[in-house]
Chains A and B, each alone.
Chain A
Amino acid sequence: MADKVYRVNMSNLSYKIEEVPAHWMGLGGRGLTSTVIAEEVDPECHPLGPNNKMVFAPGLLSGTTAANSGRNSLGTKSPLTGGIKESNVGGTMAGIMAKLGVKALIIEGIPEDDSTFYHIHITKDNVMIEAVPELVGKDNFFVLDAMEEKYNKKVAVMTIGRPGEMKMLISNISVRDPKGKLRSHGRGGVGAVMGSKKIKCITVDAENYKEVTYAAPEKFKEASKIFTKALQENPISGEGLPAFGTNVLVNIINEAGGLPSHNFRSGSSENAEAICGETMAENIKERHGSTTHGCHAGCVIQCSQTYNDKDGNYLTSGFEYEMIWAFGANFGISDLDQIAKIDALMYDLGVDAIETGVTFGVAVDAGLIEFGDGLRAFEILEKEVANGTPLGRIIGGAAGNLGKLYGLVRVPVVKNQSIPAYEPRAIKGQGITYVTTPMGADHTAGYAVATNILNSGGHIDPLQKEGQVELSRNLQIASAAVDSTGMCIFVAFPALDDPKCLPALIDMINARFGINLTADDVTNLGANILKTEHEFNIKAGLTSATDRVPEFMKYETLPPTNAIWDFTNEEIDEFWNF
């Protein structure tokens, strides 16, 4: 059976199961979501109005036995940036959708009756849309439990908590992972779009799917073996990530003076040793947690973990570098356990680690909270944000808006989206990615940190301008292509340094579909995706004048490197010359 497009119209609570248009056939993940948004969504529409859509699409290799192929893409117009958004996530959704033959799930419209929220359940031949008043006002783990009770335990679940229902700009869409924990479609306030469509949760049947088929099974198996070996033999994906998690970055980024601290006043933090990956790994070992946990089936990297408290009781999992940086270095909490408690609460509420953490950093400058006061931050999230009080709405409106409300100048956002855990002044290639990516400040869009700091794919001096635009462009094109395959972004590390990795990835796509893509075809795919997204943004009003860092970075030097943002507009705009 050929894959289908499942189209749900929330305006009249109806659905259609459609043939896949020929020109969408070769697309998956980000390539498909960005194409659909560009074709079907008016760039000038209000992101929370009836004319915005949400498109969920598994990657080209999702559902196969390929290692690390379980990423699902979501496309929409972001209420935070006002531009196009692609956000991809692990969890079980991508694999189950692919095996059920769901090429894409497109959700459009807004119900006339907005007095309740709905649950969408997808099976092979049917889409059920049903009001769930009993889930309104509940958070993510409650919804997970309810869905696991209602269906087979393996059911794929996506859900929003109360901040998503209230259409807050810090809200995510949370996705069940293989151990019943959560991962997040993060950034851009995508939870608010789901809330605007009055959808509380989406489930996909995990009982009646069929394994995906391969045009050339033997060739697939062979390429898959080479690919898996490349992931396992690479020192980063094979050793560092499983041992220390993504949080291994705290020390190296801090040492290079690129760890934003005290709301982007400094590039190094006094808390680094207390919150670093090495300390975290020691805690995990002492407290009988686990340093390895895969966010999706088939992951051989296992960068996630189970983090327990001092008494060995579960605190959180999916405890990532960005979260620990945002609350540890940038907002100033020195106690890793306290950050873990906030992390668990944020997973339950479904709010974004980077957006929320950076907002708390700006909130210090606004006089709303003391630097490093984790207890108060927890309380604000639990009582104010979760209940939508005026203070909760101010925090939930994200850093850019908070800065405007309080008349602040030091507001670290690009296209109104908070800057992640790498300082653009001290890691200039990454800064070019932040200003040029159509996503707003996003570290995953073109991870120049790899070559600026980590010596992956060679080395380009992070403090010099030379070569950064080209580096970021190449990485952004490659990332757009990888985001279309369903592959985890960390395949980039072996791909940058192991010549066997990328050819094996392309061989798997070819063997799955019986096609003959070349490396050039894949590069062209990535370039076309970027151009499609860029064009949407320009029509939405996000012209090159928004491809800029916040102005304070152009006149405030950053200790300890005393770096400044010194790119001219012409140098930045050269990015789009391809």
Chain B
Amino acid sequence: MPNKIKVTIKLFAQYREGKFKIDKRSYENNSTIKDVLDDIGLDLGKYPIGVLMVNGRHVKEDFALEDGQILAIFPKVGGG
């Protein structure tokens, strides 16, 4: 078993400022979303997390990521 996983990360709304729209990054096995958030360094004080999705399903920060998954990170957004 490889000891690294590759995850596709998508950022949205204010999180894109000075960062990226989409990126592929490697992490240690059993890394959680929290680890990814620490790695990217988003301004969570100004824009708290609104929604986290992995492969289109809502998850929480302690979700353990697996190789090949797509993680989408949104600040609080709404409309209608």
A residues near B76, Cβ cutoff 8 Å: 235-236, 239-240, 454-456
A residues near B78, Cβ cutoff 8 Å: 236-237, 240-241, 248-249, 450, 454, 456, 490, 493
Stretch of A31-39, A185-193, A252-260, A516-524 contacting B (4+ beta carbons < 8 Å)? A252-260
Q: Quick check: is A370 within 8 A (CB to CB) of the other chain?
A: no
Q: Is the CB of A246 within 8 A of B10?
A: no
1/0 contact string of B3-40 vs chain A (CB within 8 Å) = 00000001011101000010000000000000000000
Q: Is the CB of A321 within 8 A of B80?
A: yes
Q: Is the CB of A278 within 8 A of B16?
A: yes
> In the complex, how many residues of chain B place their beta carbon closer than 8 angstroms to a beta carbon of chain A?
22
B residues near A241, Cβ cutoff 8 Å: 78-79
* Cβ-closest chain B residue relative to A253: B79
A residues near B75, Cβ cutoff 8 Å: 235, 239-240
B residues near A443, Cβ cutoff 8 Å: 80
A235-B48, A239-B14, A277-B13 are contacts. A252–B80 as well, Cβ < 8 Å?
no
1/0 contact string of B47-61 vs chain A (CB within 8 Å) = 110110100111000
**What's the dominant secondary structure at chain A's contact region?**
helix
**What's the dominant secondary structure at chain B's contact region?**
mixed
A236-B77, A443-B80, A461-B58 are contacts. A454–B50 as well, Cβ < 8 Å?
yes
A residues near B48, Cβ cutoff 8 Å: 235
> In the complex, how many residues of chain A place their beta carbon closer than 8 angstroms to a beta carbon of chain B?
41
Q: Quick check: is A561 within 8 A (CB to CB) of the other chain?
A: yes
Q: Is the CB of A239 within 8 A of B53?
A: no
Q: Is the CB of B56 within 8 A of A256?
A: yes
Q: In angstroms, how far is the closest chain A Cβ from the Cβ of B31?
A: 21
* Cβ-closest chain A residue relative to B72: A255
Q: Is the CB of B56 within 8 A of A560?
A: yes
Q: Is the CB of B47 within 8 A of A239?
A: yes
CA distance A490 to B80 in the complex (A): 8
CA distance A561 to B56 in the complex (A): 8
Within 8 A of B (CB), among A264-294: 273, 277-278
29 A-B contacts (beta carbon < 8 Å): A236-B78, A239-B14, A239-B76, A240-B14, A240-B77, A244-B13, A246-B80, A248-B77, A252-B77, A255-B74, A256-B56, A256-B58, A257-B56, A273-B21, A277-B13, A278-B16, A321-B79, A453-B58, A454-B50, A454-B51, A454-B76, A455-B50, A455-B58, A462-B58, A463-B57, A489-B80, A490-B78, A490-B80, A560-B56
